């Protein structure tokens, strides 16, 4: 029998601490990544993160694909707010190609991007609620995420991985149902958000669970390359929408909410405030859209026949349109050679696209700056010395999306 | 005083002479390169000078140019001066036989995983990195998949041989 005993790793009997594998498929990780925690009782001594379980080699695949075929890849980065990724990619292409989009397109894009931001923050904040033991908020706000998804559906036909828009604009104009749904959202959502805040913001249990949990100073956050709500919760007012405006964000009036301690509670507050600001932005965009009259009110794409797909009814009936359609789909048009870095304010941070082209039909190199890949490395510093249950909340309040982390 | 590309260029040339070279401005972003031995010195200088204050590392990645003999791999740093809101791009080139580049982890904690990712895909050996091992790929992998000598599709495939679309 002595030959068949279980082989334990060296020193595992003598050591006084417990090793705990949190993930890769633990329900509390909300995604496929692993934390190897070293615990003394319930206190965390060290944490080692393992990522890459759903790595799909997007950057390599992108080197063989023309521009339009890369849009569906960007969907699958942060899939909680896919339209922001799509539009960020299209804005990058437009920058490379030197395309100027009409104002109306910019405003339509802003509406969709801010809706996506709301949907993303909604998920993140309500999941923080679920992880602290409050399920109600999560179920309550889900119907408004559903409404946002219905708006996407009206515009592009899909819900989660949207593949929305084209280089230079949208595939079709927003129909009346879409505008009605946006109006409905603007009318009903403030009350819901208010109620969501009533459930959490001054809730004693929630406050005691989150205040002081996973804090980070502004210097450390900057040094770690934090961006988005997580950086703002630490007190740095950096927002790509304001610092390097894209898609006419400079014309909009909104505030950047900031926190001070960078803990889970501040991250929650910053996200909630951002949802209010997003609503303000959407309202302004709707007002600006109402000012377009006559022909201007029908514009939904830039005039770039080399990159914008012709209308389907022309493709079916006209030779030239068919040829252009074919050329664009197959990526037969060479891009100008160049080197572009363009970033947009994704829902969880600065989402950057670094695109190098050598004049061929596909990128020579495309790198995604994925915010949560960069700030997840701070996880050990955020959780060291705290309790195991805090580690779970830190994970959900950082808004980690495995699809984005692993690209 | 607003921080202009011209000013950054002037300061860098004052400090490092002609070792910092090849200044370009593709799409408005100042881009320059330095010898790989100098990468930390340049990063430290850009970090420390109060007038420049490039204290935020936005991104770090590598690019492979197989035809560039002796300087096949480029490590690209995107830096951001948040106080002045200026971005720059800084490159160091290295040959592929000895791809040793100094690690920036002491300066930017965020460089840790970005360097691991770069090592994982391009095999750039970051000297001084505390934990340089693969991050997204499996540990057993014995090649660096983003290098250009690895085509995307399996080379034994014959069913997709298509002259017209260059597959």
How open is the CA angle B25-B31-B33, to the nearest 5 degrees? 140
pLDDT band at B165 (very low <50, low <70, confident <90, very high): low
Residues A373-390: pLDDT tens digits?
A: 999 999 999 999 999 989
How many contacts does A have with B, using Cβ atoms within 8 A?
96
Task: Examine the domain organization and report whether A261 and A165 are in the same domain.
Answer: yes
Task: Examine the domain organization and report whether A107 and A224 are in the same domain.
Answer: yes
Task: Examine the domain organization and report whether A265 and A181 are in the same domain.
Answer: yes
The answer for residues whose C-beta is within 8 angstroms of residue A2's C-beta and 6 or more apart is: none
Interface test with B, best of A374, A382, A400, A405 (most B CBs within 10 A): A374
Task: Examine the domain organization and report whether A239 and A300 are in the same domain.
Answer: yes
Answer yes or no: is A399 within a domain: yes
Task: Examine the domain organization and report whether A221 and A336 are in the same domain.
Answer: yes
Answer yes or no: is A59 within a domain: no
pLDDT band at A10 (very low <50, low <70, confident <90, very high): confident
Task: Examine the domain organization and report whether A156 and A189 are in the same domain.
Answer: yes
Prediction pTM value: 0.92
Residue B160 has pLDDT above 70, yes or no: no
B117 part of contact set with chain A, CB < 8 Å: yes
Task: Examine the domain organization and report whether A130 and A252 are in the same domain.
Answer: yes
Task: Examine the domain organization and report whether A46 and A70 are in the same domain.
Answer: no
Residue A27 has pLDDT above 90, yes or no: no
Residue B166 has pLDDT above 90, yes or no: no
Q: Which residues of A lie inside 8 Å of B (Cβ-Cβ)?
A: 51-52, 55, 57, 59-61, 63-64, 95-96, 220, 222-226, 236, 238, 243-244, 330, 332, 338-341, 343, 350, 352, 354, 356, 361, 364-365, 367, 369, 373-378, 406-407
Answer yes or no: is A60 within a domain: no
Answer yes or no: is A217 within a domain: yes
Q: Of A8-17, A145-154, A177-186, where does mean pLDDT reach its minimum? A: A8-17
Give the total number of structural domains in chain A: 2
pLDDT at A2: 55
Average pLDDT over residues A257-283: 95
User: How many CB atoms lie under 10 A from the CB of residue A28?
Assistant: 16
Answer yes or no: is A56 within a domain: no
For residue B77, what are the CA distances in angstroms to A89, B80, B88, B122? 20, 10, 8, 15
Residues B60-106: pLDDT tens digits?
A: 999 999 998 989 999 999 999 998 899 999 999 999 999 999 999 99
Average pLDDT over residues B21-41: 92
A356 to chain B, minimum CA–CA distance in Å?
A: 9
pLDDT at A305: 86
Average pLDDT over residues A244-259: 94
pLDDT at B159: 67
Task: Examine the domain organization and report whether A148 and A240 are in the same domain.
Answer: yes
Domains of chain B: 18-127 (3.30.460.80)
Q: Of A104-108, A217-221, B152-156, where does mean pLDDT reach its minimum? A: B152-156
User: The domain that contains A294 carries what CATH number?
Assistant: 1.10.645.10
Task: Examine the domain organization and report whether A253 and A394 are in the same domain.
Answer: yes
Residues A31-54: pLDDT tens digits?
A: 888 899 999 989 999 999 999 999
Question: A16 is in which domain, residue-wise?
Answer: 2-50
Report CB contact under 8 Å: A352, B58.
yes
B76 part of contact set with chain A, CB < 8 Å: yes
Report CB contact under 8 Å: A373, B113.
yes
Task: Examine the domain organization and report whether A307 and A342 are in the same domain.
Answer: yes
Task: Examine the domain organization and report whether A142 and A278 are in the same domain.
Answer: yes
Report CB contact under 8 Å: B82, A222.
yes
B166 part of contact set with chain A, CB < 8 Å: yes
């Amino acid at each position: 029998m002595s030959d068949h005993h279980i082989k334990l790793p060296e020193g595992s009997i003598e050591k006084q601490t417990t090793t705990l594998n949190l993930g890769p498929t633990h329900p509390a990780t909300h995604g496929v990544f692993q934390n190897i925690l070293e615990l003394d009782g319930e206190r965390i001594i060290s944490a080692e993160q393992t990522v890459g379980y759903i790595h799909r080699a997007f950057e390599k695949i992108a080197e063989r694909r023309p521009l339009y075929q890369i849009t569906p890849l960007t969907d699958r980065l942060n899939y909680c707010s896919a339209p922001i990724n799509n539009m960020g990619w299209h804005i990058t292409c437009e920058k490379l190609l030197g395309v100027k989009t009409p104002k109306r397109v910019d405003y339509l894009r802003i509406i969709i991007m801010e809706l996506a931001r709301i949907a993303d923050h909604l998920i993140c904040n309500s999941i923080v609620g679920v992880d602290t033991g409050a399920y109600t908020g999560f179920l309550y706000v889900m119907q408004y995420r559903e409404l946002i998804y219905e708006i996407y559906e009206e515009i592009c036909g899909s819900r989660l991985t949207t593949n929305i828009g084209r280089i230079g604009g949208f595939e079709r104009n927003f129909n009346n149902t879409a505008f009605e749904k946006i109006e409905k959202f603007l009318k009903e959502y403030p009350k819901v958000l208010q109620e969501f805040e009533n459930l959490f913001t001054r809730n004693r249990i929630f406050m005691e669970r989150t205040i002081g949990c996973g804090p980070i100073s502004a210097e450390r956050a900057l040094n770690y390359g934090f961006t988005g709500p997580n950086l703002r919760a630490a007190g740095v007012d950096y927002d790509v929408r304001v610092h390097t405006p894209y898609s006419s964000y400079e014309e909009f009036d909104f505030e950047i909410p900031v926190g001070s301690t960078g803990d889970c509670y501040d991250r929650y507050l910053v996200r909630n405030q951002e949802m209010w600001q997003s609503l303000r932005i959407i309202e302004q965009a709707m007002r600006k859209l109402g000012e377009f009259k006559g022909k201007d009110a029908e514009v939904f794409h830039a005039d770039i026949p080399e990159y914008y797909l012709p209308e389907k009814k022309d493709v079916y009936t006209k030779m030239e349109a068919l040829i252009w359609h074919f050329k664009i789909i197959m990526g037969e048009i060479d891009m100008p050679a160049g080197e572009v870095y363009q970033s947009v304010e994704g829902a969880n941070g600065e989402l950057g696209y670094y695109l190098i082209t050598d004049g061929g039909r596909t990128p020579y190199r495309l790198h995604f700056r994925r915010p949560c890949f960069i700030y997840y490395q701070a996880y050990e510093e955020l959780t060291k010395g705290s309790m195991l249950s805090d580690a779970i909340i830190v994970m959900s309040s950082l808004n980690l999306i495995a699809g984005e982390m692993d690209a | 005083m607003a921080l202009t590309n011209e000013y950054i260029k002037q300061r860098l040339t004052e400090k490092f002479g002609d070792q910092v070279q090849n200044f370009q401005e593709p799409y408005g972003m100042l881009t320059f390169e330095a010898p790989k031995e100098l990468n930390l010195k340049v990063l430290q200088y850009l970090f420390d000078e109060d007038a420049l204050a490039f204290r935020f590392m936005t991104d770090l990645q590598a690019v492979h140019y197989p035809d560039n003999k002796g300087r096949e791999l480029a490590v690209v740093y995107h830096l951001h001066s948040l106080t002045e809101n200026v971005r720059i791009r800084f490159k160091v080139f290295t040959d592929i036989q000895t791809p040793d580049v100094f690690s920036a982890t002491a300066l930017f904690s965020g460089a840790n995983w970005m360097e691991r990712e770069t090592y994982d895909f391009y095999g750039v050996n970051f000297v001084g990195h505390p934990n340089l091992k693969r991050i997204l790929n499996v540990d057993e992998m014995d090649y660096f998949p983003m290098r250009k000598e690895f085509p995307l599709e399996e080379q034994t495939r014959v069913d997709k041989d298509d002259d017209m679309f260059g597959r």
